[in-house]
């Protein structure tokens, strides 16, 4: 038995070595398959880091960090929580893991394939022999055994190479899709985070406005008792106070809803942790950059453009696969078989057969399907390239619009600072004038109402600038930890 195994190994070893040489010749070089896009390489590295972090299951530690010492949760902590609990993000992570196997599957079509088969059976043979006028018959039982080992290596298989190129394009597309899903997850957290800040500040503005009208109402009632105010002023102030009280209630409900939404987005953390979130106020100090700089970054890193580029690569690989189906295919074959059968004709005989050769497959006639497949694939390539150009034009326009919107709200925010200061000064002056008896109550009401409206409008502009900043980063493919740190610092005043 040992001698037979040695012969089998000696017969297969040179064949397998030759097959490996063919595989190395046919396999693409590293430079041929490595992407020249630095952004794609960066995305792959970031995806690896995020996946490795998620396998550590940081959910429990993150919750203890939020609630252990009563600290106000940071935006970065909330993103990490969402990363550990967001089901859409987990689905994208599983999709990326599945798509990365395309490379291995595609490469396997160009590498050696070894198959083994064998059978063992117990047979019964009934035999009849005619000898003159006599017919002799007998029955015997015998064992049969056969085993075969086959090795196949593609030597010239353009269709297999095209399938590998298609697998690389599919894997790259999945990398981009995972980055896009991470950005969407971050934006969901940021939107909910900003909404908590905004509703908290709105509640503070409306509460102060309600308290101001309550003070005015109390003052008017005291002045009415002294004959210095009118019942009309009191009725007007009471209506305004009641309206402010209703709006405060609505703002409280909106703030609770925003907290519940943020808690749900990051994984059901105790909502009390978010009640301490407060905007530090002041300018957000967000970097403007230039339209040329943002456009160049977007052209290199936009997930929208990289996805369109992957679609072109898939279409070109499909064209290569369609052409490969019309071309010859050459394979190297090696096999070794053992057959042991103790039948009537093979008494105590054992056969060992080894073979080495080439197999050539040539498509001859397919009723036009081959050429039709090539024409179809060529049309898909033209379509993918046209869609890539359209995506590039759309990206440039979207970046321009997002940049203009960002600059516009930044300028509005700066202008509203002066408007807010003027409204506050007017309100204080009207209040002092009323107490000094030189201003009418209606002047004070108008000034207080203006102060409230300006404060709410400035608040809208402030958070609109933060959202425009995030949209610009999303278009440029720059939704990352740096963006999260920038927003967190801007809102906290650090």
pLDDT at 25 over 60: no
Least confident among 129-143, 198-212, 258-272? 129-143
Give me Rg for the CA atoms of the chain. 38
State the pLDDT confidence band at 243, using cuts at 50, 70 and 90: very high
Element (DSSP H or E) covering residue 156: strand 134-156
Cα–Cα distances (Å) from 142 to 118, 119, 337, 412, 449, in that order, read 17, 14, 20, 97, 107
Overall average pLDDT of the 72-86 stretch: 84
How far is 223 from 217, CA to CA, in rounded Å? 10
pLDDT in tens, 29-58: 433 333 446 777 777 777 777 777 666 554
Q: In this predicted model, what pLDDT tens digit does every residue of 373-405 receive, in sequence order?
A: 999 999 999 999 999 999 999 999 999 999 999
Give pLDDT tens digits for 441-468.
Answer: 888 888 888 988 998 998 888 889 989 9
Asked if 300 and 39 touch (Cβ cutoff 8 Å), the reply is: yes
Helix residue ranges per DSSP H, 109-230: 158-225
437 vs 205 pLDDT, higher one: 205
Q: Which two tokens stand for residue 19?
A: 């097959």
Class of domain 37-110+158-328+376-492: mainly alpha
Strand duo 349-361 + 113-131: pairing: unpaired
Residue 343 confidence (pLDDT) above 70: no
Q: Is the pLDDT of residue 272 over 80?
A: no
Q: What is the pTM of this model?
A: 0.78
Q: 5-14, 137-146, 361-370, 371-380 — which one is most confidently predicted on average?
A: 371-380
* Cβ pair 467, 191 in contact under 8 A: yes
Q: How far apart are CA 296 and CA 308, in angstroms?
A: 17
Q: Where are the domains of the chain?
A: 37-110+158-328+376-492
What number of residues does the chain have? 494
DSSP state of 28: P
């Amino acid at each position: 038995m040992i001698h037979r195994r040695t012969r089998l190994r000696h017969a297969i070893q040179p064949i397998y070595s030759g097959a490996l040489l063919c595989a190395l010749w046919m396999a693409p070089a590293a430079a041929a398959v490595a992407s020249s896009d630095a952004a794609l390489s960066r995305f792959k590295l970031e995806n690896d880091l995020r996946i490795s972090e998620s396998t550590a299951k940081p959910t429990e530690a993150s919750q203890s960090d939020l609630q252990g010492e009563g600290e106000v949760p940071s935006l970065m902590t909330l993103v990490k929580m969402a990363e550990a609990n967001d089901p859409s993000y987990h689905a994208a992570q599983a999709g990326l893991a599945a798509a990365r196997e395309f490379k291995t599957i595609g490469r396997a079509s160009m590498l050696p394939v070894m198959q083994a088969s064998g059978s063992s059976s117990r047979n019964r043979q009934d035999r009849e022999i005619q000898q003159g006028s006599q017919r002799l018959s007998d029955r015997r039982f015998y064992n049969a055994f056969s085993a075969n080992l086959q090795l196949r290596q593609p030597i010239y298989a353009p269709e297999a190479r095209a399938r590998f190129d298609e697998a690389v394009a599919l894997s790259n597309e999945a990398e981009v899709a995972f980055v896009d899903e991470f950005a969407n997850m971050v934006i969901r957290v940021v939107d909910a985070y900003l909404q908590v800040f905004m509703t908290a500040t709105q509640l503070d503005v409306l509460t102060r406005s309600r308290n101001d009208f309550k003070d005015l109402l109390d003052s008017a009632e005291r002045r009415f008792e002294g004959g210095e105010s009118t019942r009309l002023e009191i009725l007007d102030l009471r209506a305004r106070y009641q309206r402010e009280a209703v709006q405060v209630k609505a703002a409280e409900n909106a703030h609770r809803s925003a907290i519940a939404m943020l808690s749900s987005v990051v994984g059901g953390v105790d909502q009390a942790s978010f009640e301490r979130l407060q905007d530090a106020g002041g300018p957000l100090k967000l970097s403007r950059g230039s339209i040329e700089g943002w456009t160049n970054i977007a052209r290199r890193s936009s997930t929208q453009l990289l996805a369109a580029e992957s679609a072109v690569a898939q279409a070109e690989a499909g064209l290569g696969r369609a052409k490969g189906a019309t071309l010859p295919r050459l394979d190297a074959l090696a096999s070794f078989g053992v057959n042991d059968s103790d039948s009537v004709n093979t008494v105590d005989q054992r056969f060992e057969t080894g073979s080495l050769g080439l197999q050539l497959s040539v498509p001859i006639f397919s009723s036009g399907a081959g050429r039709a497949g090539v024409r179809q694939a060529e049309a898909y390539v033209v379509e993918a390239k046209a869609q890539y150009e359209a995506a590039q034009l759309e990206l440039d326009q979207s970046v321009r619009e997002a940049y203009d919107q960002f600059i516009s709200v930044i300028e509005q925010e700066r202008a509203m600072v002066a408007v807010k200061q003027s409204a506050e000064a007017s309100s204080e002056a009207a209040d002092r004038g009323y107490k000094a008896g030189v201003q009418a109550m209606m002047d004070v009401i108008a000034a207080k109402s203006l102060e409230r409206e300006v404060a709410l409008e400035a608040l809208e502009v402030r958070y609109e600038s933060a959202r425009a900043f995030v949209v610009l980063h999303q278009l440029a493919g720059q939704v990352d930890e740096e963006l999260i740190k920038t927003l967190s610092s801007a809102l906290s005043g650090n």
